[in-house]
Chain A
Amino acid sequence: MGVSVQTEIPSKCYHCGEDCTHDSLIFDEKKFCCQGCKLVYEVLSQNDLCDYYTIESNPGKSQKNTNSQKNRFDYLEDKEVENQLLDFKNEQESHVTFYVPLIHCASCIWLLENLFQINSAITGSRVDFIKKKVQVKFLHDRISLKEVVVLLSTLGYEPKINLSDLDQKEKPSIDRKTLTKLGVAGFCFGNMMLFSMPEYFSEAKLLGDGFKGLFDYLNVVLSLPIVFYAASDYYVSAWNSIRQRKINMDVPIVLGIIAFFLYSLWEIFLQGNAGYMDSLGGLLFFLLLGKVYQQKTFATLEFDRDYKAYFPVAVTRMNKDHEEVIPLIKLQVGDVILVRDEELVPADSILLSERANIDYSFVTGEEVPVPKQKGELVYAGGRQKGDPIFLTVQKSPSQSYLTDLWNNESFEKPNKKLLEPLANRISGVFTWTVLTIAVAAFVFWFGRDLNLAVKAFTTVLIVACPCALSMSTPFTLGNTLRIFGKGKFYLKNASVVERLALVDTVIFDKTGTLTDPSNASIQYFGEVLSPESKSIVKALVERSTHPLSNRINLWLGKIGSAKLDQYQELKGLGLTAEYKGQSIKLGSSELTKSIIKELPNTGNLVFLSVEDTTLGYFHIQSGIRKGATEVTRTLAPSYEQHILSGDHAHERDYLSQSFSPQIQFNFNQSPMEKLNYLKKLNSQGKNTLMVGDGLNDAGALQESQVGVAITDRVSHFSPASDAILDAEVFAKIPSFLAFAKDSRKIIKASFALSFLYNIVGLTLAVQGLLSPVLCAILMPVSSISVVVFTTLATNFVGIRKGLITSKQS
């Protein structure tokens, strides 16, 4: 007894590096764990591409569990689908970009960029490693799109093609435009500084008068691209806000730009003075720099996914007795579809087969598959585990129980919950104050000296131009975003920080958010397990990938496993094997034929039987996530908390003991009810933060002020949200919220700082004392000091809150 099953010499697969346990394949004196890995090697060695294995060792992924259905790419022959997928097509060449989740190392890049060596009809391919995308260019007369996809899959790099790929083509990033503008502003600003040098030292009389005139005119020429190109976004934004009878931060900026430009023109052409063109260039350069800094995004994460990102493009439909693969959009109510192992049910359907085993982990966060009987309704979004099943479609894919959520009006408002940023509220007051001071200065000087009156009026507008004011927000928020990112909390954009700071109500989803499937509580009832029977159970669950097997495996801990014969995994039922001639079964009551009275009606049950005599059963309930109790208790004094659960109320007592007593529980919530619950809270004027994980929370995440999706594997799966939180830092939620509040305080403090500069500047300006030199000094000093202040302050708070270490910052 207790003999280890892993007695074979451990040897690693040359392709994927996994242990080759039994019947490993040998080819070219190299070992392979399965046919698939060997096949990939054969293709590569035939094409002289074995460098793939030298760049990184064992770079492949195991080919054991790949879907080998031959016709699964048939839908790519459909012209409509093809056209929607292609980026570009001319007479000869087509370009297509695939998302390949498997890209993970240098070998992957090398192989995918050498595709042309395998098939000469492929003219080139390029990998974007961070986004895990590959763009393939091919001659469509010689190779079809389907053949390209098949080639990639035979190499083990199967592209993931989802319904959303058909909808929208990736837009060229806005980033490029802003960066170009920054480049132009930087170029002009740098050269203007150079030409203004003699002016800064005008007392020294370094150059003759002829140069001065030339330099001033050159400055005018260089200011044109800044005023008419680099600053264009600010005009649009300011105009839009004025049209809505509001004053945002860009209005005083535009006022300043106009004042700077017109006054400098007047000075240069009519007065023969130097003007302030270099300050204007510096202003725009710093402003655009702040904008770029704020635009930090997490390229590997996607925040805007809806159900289409998970739904397949194609579905297998039964037409009389033969299968055909059709695009999902052509699926109609009443069609009979075939769903194989690991495939998604694309629409609400009635089960025609005897039995199905549906995994709803995408939808609810619960990992354990749900058994379904013939005639039952299977909701869209479930994944079949086990033998192929037949279903009749009841509703079209976009009208299902789950997907109907996206037809709700909440998803149509483009800029939902647009909370007015702090800066915009201040800028209204700011603009009016500045205008009043400017007019007052003008009136004051008007009687005495018209020239001075004009000068005082414009210089007030120039010096009060809120460059320091408008830079404090982007730099504070941008830096907060980065610190959050280091703490594994990824925000969609910087404005989320401001909304996060105002949150007063926190709503949690239960399954998968407050509870953690991997932190399960397991109880065993029945005959006491001897060490021998424990080692048998261990041997059974060790080989299975079913979530319940994993949990029992964890519960058993590190014990030896027995040697079993005839091991079998019956998907949806359980595990069977023989031990010393006795048949052992572990699984559902259907498998073990157990009849036990008074079974618990919650959680999952796994029965153990020997020779069809039931020994006992395991009762498995998902446990509470590590840190969840502390999070709810810490938040309790200052936040209102709610729990929304799709489950029945039977766990209420157990949950209310663990969590803070003030929490309000809501059970039996459908995805739509969750959304409406959030709507109700919002209409009561609350600032809501929703924390959820599954597609059934998507509506609530969308409706809340801040929606946070929690996920174990950050790049993997998350519904559309404002932020993605790595599950391992769940316990830090209170610190994140506190930090967001602090960064709001930092913005306020830096406003105070820049007001100080404005007061100094204005005092000089109303007296008509402002010279180009002073302006050239004051402007960058104020901007840079505000930037330095916000950066240092946010880093300091971040370190104190334990979100970053002092080394990282």
Chain B
Amino acid sequence: MEVIFVLIAVSLVLAITFLILFFRAMKDGQFDDGYTPSIRILFENQPKKSIKNQPKKSKSYE
């Protein structure tokens, strides 16, 4: 039965991790706009774009 102590610790750590992830998502503003991302995800990534733009592009789509 003592293994339950370990399990409790694990479950709490897991739950707290999720809570922290929730805080981060909140701070990033993921809950501010619940509509636009649903359209954004459908855009094709362009193969044409130059390599120079690559890092910027990925940033704007973060």
For this complex, 9 residue pairs linking A to B, each with C-beta atoms less than 8 Å apart, are: A110-B43, A114-B60, A116-B57, A116-B60, A120-B53, A124-B56, A125-B60, A179-B26, A187-B22
Say if the beta carbon of B10 comes within 8 Å of chain A.
Answer: no
Per-residue contact bits, chain B 44-62, to A (CB 8 Å; 1 contact, 0 not) = 1010110001001101110
Cβ contact within 8 Å between B1 and A187: no
Instruction: Give the docked Cα–Cα distance between A130 and B39 (Å).
Output: 12
Q: Provide the residues of chain A in CB contact with B35, threshold 8 Å.
A: 129-130
Say if the beta carbon of A180 comes within 8 Å of chain B.
Answer: yes
Min CB–CB distance A242 → chain B (angstroms): 32
Cβ contact within 8 Å between A176 and B60: no
Instruction: Give the docked Cα–Cα distance between A110 and B44 (Å).
Output: 10
Instruction: Give the docked Cα–Cα distance between A7 and B60 (Å).
Output: 48
Instruction: Give the docked Cα–Cα distance between A53 and B46 (Å).
Output: 14
Closest chain B residue to A113, Cβ basis:
B60
Q: Provide the residues of chain B in CB contact with A446, threshold 8 Å.
A: none
Known contacts A109-B36, A109-B40; is-contact A124 B60 (Cβ 8 Å): yes
Cβ contact within 8 Å between B33 and A128: yes
Closest chain A residue to B32, Cβ basis:
A173
Cβ contact within 8 Å between A55 and B43: yes
Known contacts A116-B53, A179-B31; is-contact A129 B26 (Cβ 8 Å): no
Q: Provide the residues of chain A in CB contact with B31, threshold 8 Å.
A: 175-176, 179
Interface residue range, chain A:
35 or more
Cβ contact within 8 Å between B26 and A183: yes
Cβ contact within 8 Å between A176 and B32: yes
Say if the beta carbon of B4 comes within 8 Å of chain A.
Answer: yes
Min CB–CB distance B42 → chain A (angstroms): 7
Q: Which residues in chain A, 100-135, are within 8 Å of chain B measured between CB atoms? A: 106, 109-110, 113-114, 116-117, 120, 123-131
Q: Provide the residues of chain B in CB contact with A123, threshold 8 Å.
A: 56, 59-60
A residues contacting B by CB (< 8 A) are: 48, 51, 55, 106, 109-110, 113-114, 116-117, 120, 123-131, 173, 175-176, 179-180, 183-184, 187, 190-191, 194, 207-208, 211, 214, 218
Known contacts A126-B60, A129-B35, A130-B35; is-contact A117 B15 (Cβ 8 Å): no
Min CB–CB distance A117 → chain B (angstroms): 7
Q: Provide the residues of chain B in CB contact with A218, threshold 8 Å.
A: 8, 12
Min CB–CB distance A360 → chain B (angstroms): 36
Instruction: Give the docked Cα–Cα distance between A117 and B40 (Å).
Output: 17
Q: Which of B5, B18, B22, B36 contacts A128 (CB 8 A)?
A: B36
Q: Provide the residues of chain B in CB contact with A117, threshold 8 Å.
A: 49, 53
Cβ contact within 8 Å between A116 and B12: no
Cβ contact within 8 Å between B33 and A129: yes
Per-residue contact bits, chain B 5-34, to A (CB 8 Å; 1 contact, 0 not) = 100100110010011001100100001110
Cβ contact within 8 Å between A127 and B36: yes
Instruction: Give the docked Cα–Cα distance between A126 and B35 (Å).
Output: 13
Min CB–CB distance B6 → chain A (angstroms): 12
Min CB–CB distance A390 → chain B (angstroms): 44
Instruction: Give the docked Cα–Cα distance between A404 and B32 (Å).
Output: 36
The total of chain B residues at the interface (CB under 8 A) is: 31
Q: Provide the residues of chain A in CB contact with B48, threshold 8 Å.
A: 48
Q: Provide the residues of chain A in CB contact with B44, threshold 8 Å.
A: 51
Which secondary structure characterizes the binding site on chain B?
Answer: helix
Cβ contact within 8 Å between A130 and B26: no
Cβ contact within 8 Å between A109 and B39: yes
Q: Provide the residues of chain B in CB contact with A194, threshold 8 Å.
A: 11
Q: Provide the residues of chain A in CB contact with B42, threshold 8 Å.
A: 106
Instruction: Give the docked Cα–Cα distance between A207 and B4 (Å).
Output: 10
Q: Which of A51, A55, A125, A130 contacts B36 (CB 8 A)?
A: A130
Instruction: Give the docked Cα–Cα distance between A130 and B42 (Å).
Output: 17
Closest chain A residue to B59, Cβ basis:
A124
Instruction: Give the docked Cα–Cα distance between A340 and B57 (Å).
Output: 40
Q: A117-B53, A129-B33, A218-B8 are in contact. List 5 more A-B contacts (CB 8 A).
A: A109-B40, A123-B59, A180-B26, A207-B4, A208-B1
Min CB–CB distance A534 → chain B (angstroms): 48
Report the 7 A-B pairs with minimum CB-CB distance, sorted nearest first: A124-B60, A129-B36, A128-B33, A187-B19, A106-B39, A130-B35, A183-B22
Min CB–CB distance A576 → chain B (angstroms): 47
Min CB–CB distance A18 → chain B (angstroms): 24
Cβ contact within 8 Å between A207 and B33: no
Cβ contact within 8 Å between B26 and A176: yes
Q: Provide the residues of chain B in CB contact with A110, threshold 8 Å.
A: 43
Q: Provide the residues of chain B in CB contact with A180, threshold 8 Å.
A: 23, 26
Q: Provide the residues of chain B in CB contact with A113, threshold 8 Å.
A: 40, 60-61
Q: Provide the residues of chain B in CB contact with A211, threshold 8 Å.
A: 1, 4
Known contacts A116-B60, A128-B33, A208-B1; is-contact A191 B39 (Cβ 8 Å): no
Q: Provide the residues of chain A in CB contact with B8, threshold 8 Å.
A: 214, 218
Q: Provide the residues of chain A in CB contact with B36, threshold 8 Å.
A: 109, 127-130
Min CB–CB distance A74 → chain B (angstroms): 30
Q: Which of A106, A125, A130 contacts B33 (CB 8 A)?
A: A130
Instruction: Give the docked Cα–Cα distance between A113 and B59 (Å).
Output: 11
Closest chain B residue to A117, Cβ basis:
B53
Closest chain A residue to B42, Cβ basis:
A106
Instruction: Give the docked Cα–Cα distance between A128 and B46 (Å).
Output: 22
Instruction: Give the docked Cα–Cα distance between A117 and B61 (Å).
Output: 13
Instruction: Give the docked Cα–Cα distance between A116 and B33 (Å).
Output: 22
Instruction: Give the docked Cα–Cα distance between A334 and B36 (Å).
Output: 48
Closest chain A residue to B27, Cβ basis:
A176
Instruction: Give the docked Cα–Cα distance between A127 and B56 (Å).
Output: 16
Q: Provide the residues of chain A in CB contact with B59, threshold 8 Å.
A: 123-124
Min CB–CB distance B20 → chain A (angstroms): 10
Min CB–CB distance A542 → chain B (angstroms): 37
Closest chain B residue to A195, Cβ basis:
B8
Instruction: Give the docked Cα–Cα distance between A113 and B53 (Å).
Output: 13
Q: Provide the residues of chain A in CB contact with B46, threshold 8 Å.
A: 48, 51
Closest chain A residue to B16, Cβ basis:
A187
Min CB–CB distance B52 → chain A (angstroms): 8
Q: Provide the residues of chain A in CB contact with B4, threshold 8 Å.
A: 207, 211
Q: Provide the residues of chain B in CB contact with A175, threshold 8 Å.
A: 31
Instruction: Give the docked Cα–Cα distance between A81 and B58 (Å).
Output: 32
Q: Provide the residues of chain A in CB contact with B53, threshold 8 Å.
A: 116-117, 120
Min CB–CB distance B30 → chain A (angstroms): 10
Cβ contact within 8 Å between A207 and B60: no
Min CB–CB distance B57 → chain A (angstroms): 7
Closest chain A residue to B61, Cβ basis:
A113
Min CB–CB distance A91 → chain B (angstroms): 19
Instruction: Give the docked Cα–Cα distance between A408 and B44 (Å).
Output: 54
Cβ contact within 8 Å between B19 and A184: yes
Closest chain A residue to B44, Cβ basis:
A51
Min CB–CB distance A177 → chain B (angstroms): 9
Q: Provide the residues of chain B in CB contact with A183, threshold 8 Å.
A: 19, 22-23, 26
Min CB–CB distance A296 → chain B (angstroms): 13
Closest chain B residue to A55, Cβ basis:
B43
